[in-house]
Structure 1
């Protein structure tokens, strides 16, 4: 074992960065299993990095953004394109093979195509993915695909336009569906459709979403409703994975589970003969912390080692203060080694202070 004390974590040129994540924590104990700075104390190697490109969004989804909105970071606090690529290269050097671009809404960032092109030039990076609400894909997706975008997730919580306007506080259902259709036409295989399920809102549409996979090569991923600051999470609105499966089996008794990969967050299911499939992201009822291989960088440059963790460390400040590559790696290593075995559980999470989802990155 070796120790990294906060004051000695990085050399003098890097003393300006924020260390709120580790305040009042004492010394940082780091395992001597140094095969990778991205491997935590529980043996989880983090090969998947999610980078939020912006805090801005053209929707105002209720489960993502507080009703009163959010205070956005000043523009000069958001990572620049060069900083994003610099950090991406650093993480790939240490073993990241997949990067997902999120937001906010990543398509509102004007240099999105350039960011994808530059990411695709990083040797060792196998996959560049993006999560989007799909509203602008009909005019952007061809260029994004040419730039090298490999995987596409499109958020769609209802198949009814009036409900879409209610949950997002904006119009746009038709454009989102056209974005899905265009992605299919361009050969994305499959197109992943993210659907947050809530009792009293869209639970009766679950079967309709399953039918949506009949003639489309889509992977509809039902996401359990999760608590974040300002989204008024209520346990009574949570529809669990098992409840969803039971509802679907009432209509499709032959609905059956598929095999999953070791780091899959989505439990895959399928209706026989249907072209597409269905998945369930069970963060609340059956967490998958033991196989988590994901890290997150927020749009303002903070590293989050857990979606539900409220400790962060500013890579932006470290980078701008002149940290060397070795110092940055040491900082990341220390943060990863502090990752907990699992999150606190849904009821505890609902009481914890965390960023609104829009400020974390989907």
Structure 2
């Protein structure tokens, strides 16, 4: 992984794309657009690399190297980056981790971000969480201005959950999901990583559970983003396999108008219940990607699978201007490749695991 300091030449991206610009020299202001015409509207903001679970597909149970506490961005620093992004058309901020609810100042983060505006109107604040602490935090988060929630749930079986996450916390997750379902946060989405030999037999029951709560279940193909680099393609349940399992129970009617959303969606037997599939490996959607990422330690990433990072810390902590921050955002997007190349033999898995990148 390459960390790109400010004032230095920006590398092309491990040599995969010699046409990429080496620095951003264009005008400031206006939408953040890459050289393939993709307009960026979504910033994923990781608040911490720490998590209350140890999912087998994400990180080892022991021996994890956490980011130093002094490297984690403060609320003021996060809001400053977000303010610059919003001024240039970023309209959705999704808070991720690790587990974002481990931040003691989470309600303050939500509240201050929710006050931001783009040139076209207010921003939207979303969060992805494992749900364990959601019951305690949800009222404050809603009061602060949270708009949407995604909650991870890979199994409804307590023993399987314990084996998969190495923690006996399924009851807490279900409590958080059900609290969210009773709230006014709509749409509520539940995320499931489909894994061969682990939970593929729960594809239908998980959708039935989500539908019973008025939520949408979204299946995610397992991606090469685990900290231990143990991902194997053969262990991944593919988009087609997921759809085949769903078709044994429901008629699937495609919902048009996907736009830049990562999930394809279908109505179940004509609706109103629906299901989504995020097929990053077998059916990449890079051509419509409108996302960029801010890691908990102040690095901008232009792709989940990138091996380059663009360092904001020298500007945030060294007297840089808002224009300097904007230049970093635009330089990162100027260096964005057309796709993640998972299916290319030259693909290299990012050094950071998903918990350190941010979902």
Query: Is TM more than 0.5 here?
Result: yes
Offset at 1:349? 7.7
Structure 1 counterpart of 2:90: 96
Instruction: Give the 3 Å change call, closer, same or farther, for CA 118–21 of structure 1 in structure 2.
Output: farther
* Residue 282 (structure 1) aligned to one of 279, 284, 289: 279
Q: How far apart are 1:274 and its partner, in Å?
A: 5.2
Residues 210 and 216 of structure 2 are in contact (CA less than 8 Å); yes or no, is this contact kept in structure 1?
yes
CA distance in 1, matches of 2:327, 2:206: 45
Query: Which consecutive residues of structure 2, in runs of 5 or more, have no partner in the other structure?
Result: none
In 2, Cα distance between equivalents of 1:22 and 1:340: 8
Q: Match for residue 197 of structure 2?
A: 200
Distance 2:213 2:346 in 1: 36
Count of residues paired in the alignment: 349
Confirm or deny that 1:251 pairs with 2:249.
Answer: yes
Q: Residue 246 and residue 59 in structure 1: after superposition, are their counterparts in 2 closer, same or farther (change >3 A)?
A: same
Post-superposition offset of 1:83: 0.1
Question: Quick one: structure 1 residues 33 and 324, their matched pair in 2 at CA, closer, same or farther if it must change by over 3 Å?
Answer: closer
Structure 2 counterparts to residues 45-64 of structure 1, below 5 A: 45-64=39-58
Distance in 1 (CA, whole Å) between partners of 2:193 and 2:345 is: 20
Q: Secondary structure at the match of 1:251?
A: coil
The Cα shift of 1:209 comes to 1.5
Secondary structure of 1:154 counterpart:
strand
Q: Is the 8 A contact 2:29 2:88 kept in 1?
A: no
2:149 matched to 1:152? yes
User: Residue by residue, what CA displacement relative to the aligned partner does 1:19-53 show, whole Å, maximum 9, x if unpaired?
Assistant: 68879999715586877462100000111000001
Q: Partner of 2:266: helix, strand, or coil? A: strand
Structure 1 contact 294–305 (Cα < 8 Å) conserved = yes
The correspondence for 1:311, drawn from 308, 311, 316, is: 308
Structure 1 residue 161 corresponds to structure 2 residue 158? yes
Q: Is the counterpart of residue 120 in structure 1 residue 114 in structure 2? A: yes
CA deviation digits over 1:51-105, x for unaligned, max 9?
Answer: 0011111111111113444211211111011000000101001110000000110
Q: 1:35 to 1:63 in 2, by over 3 A?
A: same
**TM (normalized to structure 2)?**
0.90
| In the alignment, structure 1 residue 299 sits paired with structure 2 residue 299 | no
